[in-house]
Structure 1
Amino acid sequence: MSLRPLFVTQVYEASLAPVPGFDGFNADLADACRMLAGEDGAGRAWCKAHGYRGYTSYGSLNDLPQRLPEFAELKKHLDRHALAYARALNFDLARKPRLDTMWVNILKPGGAHSGHIHPHAFLSGTVYVEVPDGASALKLEDPRLPMMMARPSVVPDAPETEQPFVYLAPKAGTVLMWESWLRHEVPMNAAKSDRISISFNYA
């Protein structure tokens, strides 16, 4: 007998760390994220209204690459990764993937982000800037889960491909991308300091 893996969900993982001058670039990104958190009053108000423990520019700023050179440089790197991912997925592209939105996330200790998808995009992802010890992994959900009905649970040592949830533990410089329909969440940040990341959508 044989098993044929069909309808596979491909998650893209890479790193910015090989980029020349990465440490300085990453430090500049962290400084830019903290600067926005201090100056973006509308963003802080959005976080308070939506119960976000920390800061995100998701509800307030939509021009980060035009606003600061650190994000413009990051966009150049992400554009290359998005194109490589789209080609690996064998997408029939009429044009290169276009960055639609980019936003900062500073998740304080005890903060979390519940399960969600990213409508109106086809590729989404996050680049991780500061990931202290104990910081949240990215939790990905098997997209078949709502339709499994009477399916038994899997044994604890089942391979990653058969688990209903997969946790990816990033580090500074990690780039993770997935198709935007894939449900994901950020469990509680158990670190003693902020977890800083920058998320994005390609349309």
Structure 2
Amino acid sequence: MTVRSLFATRFYDAPLGDAALLDELDEACRDLAQQDRAGRAWSKDHGYRGYTSYASLDDLPVRDPRFGDLVRVLNKHVAKFAEACAFDLDRKLKLDSIWVNVLKPGGTHAGHIHPHSVVSGTVYVAVPPGSGSLKLEDPRLAMMMAAPTRRDDAPEDLTTFVYAEPEVGTVFLWESWLRHEVTPNAAKSERISISFNYRR
């Protein structure tokens, strides 16, 4: 008998590799949360518990050289992930968007995907204990219909949801079609992350 695993979903987990840059990014993110009135207003209007620059600023690497430094590091991580995915590319993937998230205690972000992108990801800048994980959903879930639930001891590649626990400096990357969500921040302080998309 042969049982094969088919149609793998890759997920990248690595340290950013630059502690000094992380300290600078922590300061940069907190500065933005104070100065970006449009971002604070958008967050309030859309029920985002905290601050995000997602809908207000689209020039972070130009606006602040600390984000430009981050992009240069992320480019290398994304290139490694693209190779692990065996993408047939005629040129390197290019940053499409990057934004800051300052999630207050109790904050969460519902399940979603990132259309029109190839690779999406997040780098974690501040991760207080209990601040939650990234919840990844099996992309076949909607087609499973009458499939039984999995046993508690099922291997990770057979589970319906995977919870990726970040640390300060963690870089997570995934293909942009993979549905994911941010579990509630149960910490007593803010979780800070920077999310991004890459396209062809």
What TM-score bracket applies, with the shorter chain setting the length? Answer: over 0.9
Alpha-carbon distance between aligned partners in 1 of 2:121 and 2:178, rounded to the nearest angstrom: 11
- What residue is the counterpart of 1:15 in the other structure? 15
Q: 2:111 aligns with which of 103, 110, 115?
A: 115
Q: Identity rate of aligned residues, in percent? A: 60
The Cα of 1:110 is off from its aligned counterpart by 0.3
**3-state DSSP class of the match of 1:139?**
strand
Matched residue type, 1:50: H
**3-state DSSP class of the match of 2:184?**
coil
**3-state DSSP class of the match of 2:88?**
coil
**3-state DSSP class of the match of 1:119?**
coil
Runs of 4+ that moved beyond 6 A: none
Instruction: Say what the alpha-carbon RMSD is for the aligned residues.
Output: 0.7
- What residue is the counterpart of 1:29 in the other structure? 25
The Cα of 1:129 is off from its aligned counterpart by 0.4
Alpha-carbon distance between aligned partners in 2 of 1:3 and 1:66, rounded to the nearest angstrom: 50
Alpha-carbon distance between aligned partners in 2 of 1:192 and 1:7, rounded to the nearest angstrom: 40
| Structure 1 residue runs without a partner (length 5+) | none
Q: 2:145 aligns with which of 136, 146, 149?
A: 149
The Cα of 1:106 is off from its aligned counterpart by 0.4
- What residue is the counterpart of 2:157 in the other structure? 161
Matched, 1:98 2:94: yes
- What residue is the counterpart of 1:55 in the other structure? 51
Matched residue type, 2:7: F
Deviation digits for residues 1-21 of structure 1, max 9, x if unmatched? 22111001010111113x3xx
The Cα of 1:26 is off from its aligned counterpart by 1.1
**3-state DSSP class of the match of 1:101?**
strand
Alpha-carbon distance between aligned partners in 2 of 1:190 and 1:3, rounded to the nearest angstrom: 40
Matched, 1:41 2:41: no
Matched residue type, 2:107: G
Alpha-carbon distance between aligned partners in 2 of 1:131 and 1:2, rounded to the nearest angstrom: 43
Deviation digits for residues 63-111 of structure 1, max 9, x if unmatched? 1110111100000010011111111111110110100000000000000
Alpha-carbon distance between aligned partners in 1 of 2:90 and 2:131, rounded to the nearest angstrom: 39
**3-state DSSP class of the match of 1:46?**
helix
**3-state DSSP class of the match of 1:12?**
strand
**3-state DSSP class of the match of 2:102?**
strand
For these two proteins, the number of residue pairs brought into alignment is 199
Deviation digits for residues 132-178 of structure 1, max 9, x if unmatched? 00011000000000000000001011111011000000001100000
Output the TM-score relative to the length of structure 2. 0.98
Matched residue type, 2:34: G
Alpha-carbon distance between aligned partners in 2 of 1:29 and 1:63, rounded to the nearest angstrom: 15
Alpha-carbon distance between aligned partners in 1 of 2:165 and 2:176, rounded to the nearest angstrom: 19
Equivalent pair of 2:21/2:70 in contact (CA under 8 Å): no
